[in-house]
Amino acid sequence: MEPTPNLPVADIVQLRDGTHIYADQLPQAFQQQGQPPVVHIHEAPPDRTTQRIALGTGIGAGTVAAGVYFGPLLVGVLTSMAISLAVVALVAVATAWGLVTVVRTVAQDGDQAAKNLRKARRRRGR
């Protein structure tokens, strides 16, 4: 028995209209060029625009990866800090309100006591 020869595997591509065709039989308009397709910045998704600009300026993929990792981390940290500060502000407002209420109550009681004292002195002086 003779082994069957290994034939190269042909790539099958699906066209826009849904039909399938062998990649080597594609019309000239569909054949891929040697250059990657150009994606303009305004066409990129919002989360990728910064990375595309960064890579376009040549700062390197490490910086972009750090931005991708630390960006959401920074947002989380700032949100946590904002929530903590909001809680502290709420406690400060509640404490100030309670303190003002106590001071007003004590001052009113003091005024009432002074009025009672004046009335008592007037009665004795008669």
pLDDT at 108: 77
Confidence band of 85 (pLDDT split at 50, 70, 90): very high
Evaluate if residue 84 carries a pLDDT over 90: yes
Mean pLDDT value across residues 47-61: 65
DSSP track, 18-46: S-EEEGGG--TTTSPPSSPPP--GGGS-H
pLDDT at 54: 64
Distance CA 39, CA 55 (A): 13
Reported pTM: 0.41
Percentage above 90 pLDDT, the chain: 20
